[in-house]
Amino acid sequence: MTITTSFATRARVAAALTILAATAACGGGGGDSSTGPKPVQPGTFSANISGAVSAQLTGLAVFNTGSNASQLALGTADGKRTIAFTRLVAGVPGTGSYTLGNDDESSTDFLGSYIVVDGNTGALFASRAGSGTLHITASSASHLAGTFTWTGYDSDQPDARTITVTGSFDAPVGGATETIR
């Protein structure tokens, strides 16, 4: 058995973990503020996907950053569809336009992915951005908002199945709070 770390696998795992963390943080009750930081309430997003698969999505949005990477995760309430924008740079990105593209891990711009999963069988469709732009219109230590548009391709059938993804997001920031370009 060969274990791979393909883009689709990394994107699916990262998006799923981020959405799970965001939805888990929303649950529960008030709690005592002296026991730790208050959970971040997720924001919202809407998106339109057309092409090989089509859907109109709305759901939860959260931006998380760690010590060496950051991710904007957008997910439907049922957890079956996620859009993720991953950047291998820590910190909150400043306002401006960022290129969405291939699997170039040295890039300071973002990698984009759209994943459709079935709880029983795993990924049904995994697409990564071939080209596009993430426009960040508002950025602070606690908030990130903007729009996105990209053309992507099926990770398993790149020549046969393409999609176009457009949408907007308004997300809280979790993790570190340094704003960078």
Q: Residue for token digits 């999505």?
A: 57
Q: State the total domains in the chain.
A: 1
Domain that holds residue 108: 7-28+36-180
The CA–CA distances, whole Å, from 128 to 16, 69, 136, 152, 162 equal 15, 18, 20, 5, 10
Q: Is 1 among the domain residues? A: no
pLDDT band at 174 (very low <50, low <70, confident <90, very high): confident
Could you read off the pLDDT of 125-151 as tens digits, one per residue? 777 777 889 999 999 999 999 999 988
pLDDT at residue 10, as a whole number: 44
Q: Is 103 among the domain residues? A: yes
Q: Is 120 among the domain residues? A: yes
pLDDT at residue 122, as a whole number: 60
pLDDT band at 170 (very low <50, low <70, confident <90, very high): very high
d(CA 144, CA 141): 8
Q: Is 2 among the domain residues? A: no
Cβ atoms of residues 130 and 155 within 8 Å: no
pLDDT band at 25 (very low <50, low <70, confident <90, very high): very low
Q: Is 171 among the domain residues? A: yes
pLDDT at residue 69, as a whole number: 87
Tokens, residue 114: 């759209």
Could you read off the pLDDT of 77-110 as tens digits, one per residue? 888 888 998 888 888 999 999 988 766 555 558 8
The residues that bridge with 179 in the sheet, in sequence order, are 92
For residue 63, pLDDT over 90 is answered with: yes
